[in-house]
Amino acid sequence: MGGERVSWGAGRVPPRGGPERCFAGNVWKVPSSAQRAERLTEGEIVTSRAAGGAALAALCGLAVAACGSGETTLRFSPSSADARQAPPATTQPEEPKGEPAPGASADEPLRGKVVVIDPGHNGGNAKHPEVINRQVDVLTKRKPCDTTGTSTNDGYSEAAFTWDVSQRVAKILKARGATVKLTRKNNTGVGPCITERAAAGNKAKADAAISIHADGAGAAGHGFHVIMPKKIGGPVDPVVGDSRKLGITVRDAFRAGTGLPYSTYIGSKALDFRNDLGGLNLSTVPKIFLECGNMRNSGEAAKFRSPAFRQKIAESIATGMQRYLT
- In this predicted structure, the answer to whether residue 136 has a pLDDT above a threshold of 60 is yes
**Average confidence score pLDDT of the chain:** 79
- In this predicted structure, the answer to whether residue 289 has a pLDDT above a threshold of 60 is yes
pLDDT digits (tens, 9 = 90+) for 195-231: 999 999 999 999 999 999 999 999 999 999 999 999 9
Instruction: Select from 226, 223, 241 the least CA-distant residue to 294.
Output: 223
Q: How far is residue 57 from each of residues 69, 190, 230, 326, measured CA to CA in Å?
A: 18, 54, 36, 25
Per-residue pLDDT band for 102 (boundaries 50, 70, 90) equals: low
Per-residue pLDDT band for 104 (boundaries 50, 70, 90) equals: low
Alpha carbon distance 165, 224 (integer Å): 15
Report pLDDT for 82.
39
Alpha carbon distance 314, 326 (integer Å): 18
Alpha carbon distance 182, 45 (integer Å): 31
Average pLDDT over residues 13-19: 40
Half-sphere exposure of 139 (CA within 13 A, CB side): 22
Report pLDDT for 101.
56
Give phi and psi for 72, each to the nearest 5: -130, 150
Q: To the nearest whole percent, how much of the chain has pLDDT over 90? A: 67
Among 55-69, 79-93, 235-249, the range with the most confident prediction by mean pLDDT is: 235-249
Q: To the nearest whole percent, how much of the chain has pLDDT over 70? A: 68
Residue ranges per structural domain of the chain = 4-75, 114-325
The CATH architecture to which 114-325 belongs is 3-Layer(aba) Sandwich (3.40)
- In this predicted structure, the answer to whether residue 60 has a pLDDT above a threshold of 90 is no
Which residues carry out catalysis?
A: 291
Report pLDDT for 204.
99
Alpha carbon distance 277, 141 (integer Å): 9
- In this predicted structure, the answer to whether residue 140 has a pLDDT above a threshold of 50 is yes
Report pLDDT for 106.
80
Per-residue pLDDT band for 92 (boundaries 50, 70, 90) equals: very low
Lowest mean pLDDT, pick from 54-63, 127-136, 157-166: 54-63
- In this predicted structure, the answer to whether residue 80 has a pLDDT above a threshold of 50 is no
Q: What b/e string do you get for 210-244 counting C-beta neighbours within 10 Å, with b at 16 or more?
A: bbbbbbbbeeebbbbbbbbbbebebbbbbbbebbb
Instruction: Select from 213, 28, 195 the least CA-distant residue to 117.
Output: 213
Report pLDDT for 105.
72
